[in-house]
Structure 1
Amino acid sequence: MKQLVTAACLAAAVATSAFAEGETHYVAVHVDQNDPKVINMALNNVQNLTNYYESQGDTAIVEVVAYGPGLHMYIPGKSPVVDRISTMSLEIENLTFAACGNTHRKMSEKAGKEITLLDEANIVPSGVVRLVELQEQGYAYVRP
């Protein structure tokens, strides 16, 4: 009887581990340049790491943080990646885009009007502070 119970426990443990969820990886991607190559490389990094972790049964939670000249990636008419951001935000469940509020405010003041950002971009008070907060929460830091 003892062997039967042990075998049943072992079978249950194997079955449970087969359905166990994979690891969750947290990644902050930093963009501070208005360079299409850098911006596209950042999005390539996001796509590649998300694809890799999903292929391993893991989850990637990614936040792209843009400030300074990098904020142009979120400005319609100036961004070289508007369509790509839209597509990625629909295809990648755990992807968010953060826009520096300090940079946005200064750009708006300089333009004399409120600068419109892509709907996918969420304004945070400070891009640099957001990167620090994410790293303090255990996010890996990537800068293309």
Structure 2
Amino acid sequence: MIPSNRLSRRGLVAGASIFTAAASGAAAKEDRLVDGVVILIDSNEPYVMGHAISYSANLAKHFAEKGAKLQIEVVANGKGIEVFRADKTPLAEPLATLRQAVPNLAYSMCASSKTIAEAKEHISIPLISGANLVPFGIGRVVDLQLKGWAYIHA
């Protein structure tokens, strides 16, 4: 097991590397992708979901101003899957607008959490346009952290 503080330091180092490269002018051409940021949503509270969306927009703008394109992935897990549920999300329009404005943004929903919710509610859960399923939300977060991505818990 890897201690969580090790992953956090690695995420901070990755974030600092992105900033340093962009600020020093060492960032390559505009089309170059640098390491990314993964944002975890595990709550169905509207303000938490809203924060994750605003974090995505602000990060994309921040790095674009520095000449860097940042990959951003918002991962919904547990109760947080509501953000990407076409039948429940209060943020359908802002999510669609943001996806159009930020081409390096991905939305991922935990398939395990979706299956549990479907069994509990006896329905098939529809996803918003542009959202993808990943086997395990928290597994996706850790996979990206191990690749050097920074981590934000919304």
Same fold (TM over 0.5): yes
1:21 to 29, 32, 35: 29
In the other structure, the counterpart of 1:55 is 65
How far has the Cα of 1:21 moved from its partner? Answer: 2.1
Shift of 1:44: 0.7
C-alpha deviations, 1:109-138, integer Å up to 9, x for none?
A: 112221111121100000010001010111
- What 5-or-longer segments of structure 1 have no aligned partner? 1-16
Partner secondary structure for residue 34 of structure 1: coil
Aligned equivalent of 1:115: 125
User: Residue in 2 aligned with 1:31?
Assistant: 41
Cα offset for 1:20? 3.8
Q: Is the 8 A contact 1:29 1:62 kept in 2?
A: yes
Structure 2, unpaired ranges of 5+:
1-24
Normalised by the length of structure 1, the TM-score is 0.83
What is the Cα-based RMSD across aligned positions, in Å? Answer: 1.8
| Matched residue count | 128
Q: Give percent identity, aligned residues only.
A: 30
- 1:26 and 1:62 in contact (8 A); partners too: yes
Tell me if structure 1 keeps the 8 A contact 2:85–2:127. Answer: yes
Q: In the alignment, does 2:94 pair up with 1:84?
A: yes
What secondary structure does 1:83 align onto?
helix
Q: TM-score, normalised by structure 2?
A: 0.78
Aligned counterparts of 2:74 and 2:64: Cα–Cα separation in 1: 18
Match of 1:103 among 109, 113, 119: 113
- 1:30-53 Cα distance to aligned partner (Å, 9 max, x none): 100001111111111110010010
Report what 1:143 is aligned to. 153
- C-alpha distance in 1 between matches for 2:144 and 2:56: 16
